[in-house]
Amino acid sequence: MMDESEMRKRAAKIAVDKVGFQKHLAIYSAVSIFLISLWYVTFHLKGRSHSRGSSSRSSGGEWVSRRTSSQHIAEGDTFSVLLKGSLTG
């Protein structure tokens, strides 16, 4: 049979372990709630943004077609090719 001091040590260890588990559970829950809210905002509210210029931004799912310099020249739009060259060179 265990004497009183051994029982106190065992009870203290159980209490410390229980508090540690509760802290771990609280932190785990907070991180999970944060990740779920981040996922919700990212995927469910992407079209409802109130920031400036959000309506002109692509959501990433569409293909963006861009004209090359040769297409600009073929269409007679040499100004944009010259402007691009002067800005980069």
Domain ranges of the chain: 8-45
What is this structure's pTM?
0.44
pLDDT of 12 reads 95
Helix ranges, 1-89 (H): 4-44, 69-74, 78-88
Mean pLDDT throughout 1-26? Answer: 93
Higher-scoring residue by pLDDT: 46, 89: 46
Tally Cβ neighbours within 10 Å of residue 80.
13
Q: Which two tokens stand for residue 41?
A: 């905002």
Is the predicted pLDDT of residue 34 greater than 90, yes or no? yes
Higher-scoring residue by pLDDT: 80, 2: 2
Q: How confident is the model at residue 54 (pLDDT cuts 50, 70, 90)?
A: very low
